[in-house]
Structure 1
Amino acid sequence: MTSQFLWVIFPYLCIAVFIVGHIFRYRHDQFGWTAKSSEFIEKKQLMIGSLLFHIGIFPVILGHVAGLGIPKEWTRAMGVSDHMYHIGAVWGGGFFGVVTLAGMIILTSRRFTNSNVRHLSSASDLIVNTFLLVIVILGVYSSLITNTMTPGFDYRSTISIWFRSLLILQPQAEFMASVPIAFKLHILTGFLIFAMWPFTRLVHVWSVPLNYVGRSYILYRKDKRN
């Protein structure tokens, strides 16, 4: 029963909250759909932390999509051996994971230790920052430590198959039974942040300012009377 809840009910519940929550928030709280930037309070740490985080997170996301969504039979057919894939996933993913972690440490430290930034932050901001930091730590640990210190474990033969079974609505929780605890915690906290997403400022990632491309320039003219 616990296994069914953790690896079937809980993921679907988080996905449902993610979808319904976004629809509700967009329809009833569009003016709250903002990042509430604190750049005017402190800029240096924000710039460094944000740069590191974004440099690392995009390759990490692509790595997750490839690792979870592409069966190992497909990569073998493309001439990529399991060993080659493993080396790339561990060290490539580990490197970008560490870059992401460095960015998250700076951003989280800034939010908690800078009194002005913390005063501007809501409780949800602090919780989200903490959760993201924990998720990244667990991900880096799983990639660099658990992957190399657990002989015989292959996440593409366990986690990936389980994840794809969720997508086709034929969940197979039994594939998660032998997964190391670090990976399990990483997955559960990851789904939890998806459930929290619609109710936090994370929603701003969907606000791509495409209208700025064709918008006219704003002209500033000096007042000659002064």
Structure 2
Amino acid sequence: MTLLDQFLWVIYPYIMLTLFVAGHIYRYNTDQFGWSAKSSEFLEKRRLRWGSVLFHWGILFVFFGHVAGILVPKTFYESIGITEEMYHFGAVWFGGAAGVATVIGVVLLLWRRFSVRRLLRHSSKSDLVVLLLLTIVILTGFTNTVGYTATGGTFDYRDTIGPWFRGLLTFRPLPQLVSDAPIGFQIHILSALLLFGIWPFTRLVHVWSIPLTYLNRHYVVYRRMRAKKI
């Protein structure tokens, strides 16, 4: 195990995860008025409609797929009767469908951001960095699934990346599990960790602003005002 491996798979992840947690606390206490998605719908709507819907629905299912594959141990599925073939089928077909939607969505959003001149002029540097980094994370994750896992590759992320990440969360890191992983998986992990690190300082914080109060909010009644005859 080299010093570079120790940095990439132990020190660097803890730095990014610390920034993720501490950064959100700092941002919430110092910039609540800036805690929003900063909608750009008024600048361009047509491409946003398709890109946003595909991206948000796709990334939602991709997120739960990562929870199921990384945070849930392989032994749990075996204990409830889900075989390797059953899991692989769901990961490839359902995860692949979610991945396709996410890829199309983020590409549309990226194209929209850089092709609409007035939108590009009103974009901050963090907006562009986040979108580019999101694209890298999504494309590497998708190509790993389609180009490696779905074609019968021998690398099993549930026996390597999953235990490694769970080890980070329990402060028992096992860097040797990912130090020899295929380069595509390593790029995906490192870019995703970087995204976590910069998350609190970008518009991505709006993810945590779930409008639960709307569930019990009273309806707003609109009435037409008739002009009075003079």
**TM-score, normalised by the number of residues in structure 2:** 0.92
The residue aligned with 2:61 is 59
Alignment of 1:191 with 2:193, yes or no, is yes
Alignment check: 8 A CA contact 2:70 2:163 kept: yes
The residue aligned with 1:8 is 10
Alignment check: 8 A CA contact 2:9 2:179 kept: no
The residue aligned with 1:43 is 45
Unaligned 5+ residue runs, structure 1? none
Partner of residue 169 from structure 2, selected from 167, 170, 181: 167
1:124, distance to aligned residue in structure 2 (A):
0.6
Name the CA distance, whole Å, in 2 between partners of 1:51 and 1:87.
25
1:85, distance to aligned residue in structure 2 (A):
1.2
Name the CA distance, whole Å, in 2 between partners of 1:174 and 1:206.
33
1:159 maps to a residue whose letter is: I
2:126 maps to a residue whose letter is: S
Alignment of 1:219 with 2:222, yes or no, is yes
Alignment of 1:29 with 2:34, yes or no, is no
1:216, distance to aligned residue in structure 2 (A):
5.1
Give a deviation string over 1:198-225, Cα, whole Å, max 9, x none.
1111111111223334245163644727
Distance 1:218 1:129, change over 3 A: farther
CA RMSD of aligned residues (A): 1.8
1:177, distance to aligned residue in structure 2 (A):
2.4
1:56 maps to a residue whose letter is: G
Name the CA distance, whole Å, in 1 between partners of 2:123 and 2:97.
30
The residue aligned with 1:83 is 85
The residue aligned with 1:207 is 209
Alignment check: 8 A CA contact 1:18 1:194 kept: yes
Q: Give the fraction of aligned pairs with identical amino acids, expressed as a percent.
A: 46
Name the CA distance, whole Å, in 1 between partners of 2:219 and 2:55.
31
1:217 maps to a residue whose letter is: V
Q: Secondary structure at the match of 2:130?
A: helix
Give a deviation string over 1:78-115, Cα, whole Å, max 9, x none.
11111221222123212211110000011111111101
2:62 maps to a residue whose letter is: V
Q: How many residues align?
A: 226
Distance 1:2 1:223, change over 3 A: farther
Q: Secondary structure at the match of 2:158?
A: helix
Distance 1:220 1:86, change over 3 A: same
Name the CA distance, whole Å, in 2 between partners of 1:193 and 1:218.
42
Name the CA distance, whole Å, in 2 between partners of 1:89 and 1:64.
10
1:10, distance to aligned residue in structure 2 (A):
0.8
1:58, distance to aligned residue in structure 2 (A):
1.3
The residue aligned with 1:140 is 142
2:199 maps to a residue whose letter is: W
Alignment of 1:157 with 2:159, yes or no, is yes
The residue aligned with 1:72 is 74
The residue aligned with 2:120 is 118
Instruction: Name whichever of 8-17 and 72-81 sits farther off.
Output: 72-81
1:116, distance to aligned residue in structure 2 (A):
1.5
Unaligned 5+ residue runs, structure 2? none
1:40, distance to aligned residue in structure 2 (A):
1.2
Q: Secondary structure at the match of 1:219?
A: coil
